[in-house]
């Protein structure tokens, strides 16, 4: 592992641990736990979501781009980005949307736009999983000013803007980056952009049934692609197919587009096909034990079901299940990543030894 990759991995792990710990804490607060030191639930929720997107989502996306050989950020830009992540996280924990969190988020957004500019040539490819990312980052960034304006004036509309913002990043940037690592046939750029934008609007500011077909379009392509590709392991197929069924159900309004269902969907997407799918794809099935992969998947499904079902059964015991599942979830995902890290190092040592033996 190179020095720069080692630093990237260390920073990624710190952000991942911080995001998971904040998530577990929030789950326990919902069960009745009192927060110490005058901390506010709303501020911790902002810190949790922003740290997840800033410190986990984009580093994974950038690594996937880098491994394609089409992307590189300078050490200086990464240092600016790291400073923005730390400043925004501390600011959100301290006081929510305050001067330090706003400055940190501005630095982060600036590096996002720089990465989009560096990837601009990908936008013109007719069939590439990452071709939607530059425009996706730009459109999502355009949502930030109105979110800041309407957060105080109209919180309900601001929440809809946030849902569109998050959906644009998930549909057009995050998921395509991981899918680019799999041998799944890429869609036409215009097709995926149209479906992703329509789906993001449907889940946020324009919940019109026609726009919901965008979710169906994305889910159908992923569903078909997973069945067509026999090289994708069964655990990854399970994650992607579960995601596709859930997204299609939302688009067809078989599932309600309400807050708890949205929270469940975001956690399923980012902790399932995106993060776990990426971690699993880094290694062969011999490196991460099957029991660890499937235990993680089962834990994830229990957690998101416990969150989403609160819309139908708003009982406290479901919150307890969700909280305990979230705690286990952190253990499984950290275990999977650390297991990969250990085994990849051992594999590299073995390969180096074999090359020396032949020389």
pLDDT tens, residue order, the chain (359 aa)? 456 566 677 777 788 888 888 887 787 777 666 777 777 888 888 888 889 899 989 988 988 888 777 677 888 888 899 999 999 999 888 887 788 888 988 999 999 999 999 888 887 777 889 899 999 999 999 988 888 788 778 888 888 999 999 999 999 999 999 998 887 889 999 999 999 999 999 999 999 999 999 999 999 999 998 888 777 888 888 999 999 999 999 999 999 998 888 888 998 999 889 988 887 766 544 467 777 788 888 888 888 888 888 778 766 666 666 666 766 676 666 666 666 655 554 434 433 443 333 33
- CB neighbour list of residue 144: distance below 8 Å, 6 or more residues apart: 105, 109, 165
CA dist 230 to 234, 236, 282, Å? 9, 11, 17
Task: Quote the Cα angle for 304-148-53, to 5°.
Answer: 40
- Angle ∠(205,207,213) on CA atoms, nearest 5: 125
State the Cα–Cα distance between residues 289 and 278, nearest whole angstrom: 16
Q: How many angstroms from the chain centroid is the CA of residue 189?
A: 21
Q: Which residue has the tokens 């149209």?
A: 194
Q: Are 151 and 97 in contact (CB under 8 A)?
A: yes
**Integer CA distances (angstroms), 120 to 54, 60, 180, 189, in order:** 21, 19, 17, 13
Q: CA torsion 29→35→39→42, rounded to 10°?
A: 20
CA distance 255 to 111: 36
* Rounded percentage of the chain residues whose pLDDT exceeds 90: 30
pTM: 0.86
Q: What does residue 127 show for φ and ψ, rounded to 5 degrees? A: -140, 95
Gap between the Cα atoms of 276 and 268, Å rounded: 10
CA angle (268, 112, 333) in 5-degree steps:
30
Q: What is the pLDDT of residue 354?
A: 36
**Count of CB atoms within 10 A of residue 11's CB?**
17
264/312 Cα distance (integer angstroms): 13
């Amino acid at each position: 592992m190179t020095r720069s990759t080692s630093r990237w991995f260390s920073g990624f792990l710190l952000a991942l641990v911080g995001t998971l710990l904040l998530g577990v804490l929030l789950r326990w607060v919902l069960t009745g736990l009192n927060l110490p030191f005058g901390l506010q639930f709303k501020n911790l929720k902002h810190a949790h979501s922003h740290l997840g997107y800033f410190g986990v989502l984009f580093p994974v996306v950038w690594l996937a781009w880098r491994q394609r050989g089409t992307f590189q950020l300078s050490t200086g830009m990464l240092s600016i980005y790291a400073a923005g992540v730390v400043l925004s996280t501390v600011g959100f924990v301290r006081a929510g949307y305050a001067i330090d969190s706003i400055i940190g988020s501005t630095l982060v957004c600036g590096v996002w736009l720089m990465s989009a500019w560096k990837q601009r040539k990908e936008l013109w490819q007719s069939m590439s999983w990452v071709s939607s990312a530059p425009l996706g980052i730009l459109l999502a960034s355009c949502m930030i000013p109105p979110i800041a304006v309407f957060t105080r004036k109209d919180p309900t509309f601001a929440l809809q803007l946030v849902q569109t913002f998050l959906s644009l990043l998930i549909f057009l940037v995050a998921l395509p980056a991981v899918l680019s690592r799999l041998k799944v046939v890429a869609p036409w750029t215009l097709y995926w952009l149209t479906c992703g934008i329509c789906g993001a609007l449907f889940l946020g500011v324009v919940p019109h049934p026609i726009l919901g077909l965008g979710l169906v379009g994305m889910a159908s392509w992923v569903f078909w692609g997973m069945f067509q590709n026999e090289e994708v392991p069964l655990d990854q197929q399970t994650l992607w197919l579960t995601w596709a069924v859930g997204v299609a159900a939302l688009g067809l309004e078989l599932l309600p587009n309400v807050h708890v269902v949205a929270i469940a969907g975001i956690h399923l997407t980012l902790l399932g096909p995106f993060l776990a799918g990426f971690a699993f794809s880094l290694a062969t099935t011999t490196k991460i034990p099957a029991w660890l992969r499937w235990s993680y998947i089962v834990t994830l499904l229990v957690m998101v079901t416990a969150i989403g079902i609160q819309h139908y059964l708003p009982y406290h015991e479901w919150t307890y299940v969700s909280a305990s599942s979230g705690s286990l979830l952190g253990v499984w995902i950290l275990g999977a990543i650390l297991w990969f890290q250990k085994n990849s190092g051992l594999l590299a040592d073995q390969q180096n030894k074999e090359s020396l033996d032949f020389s």
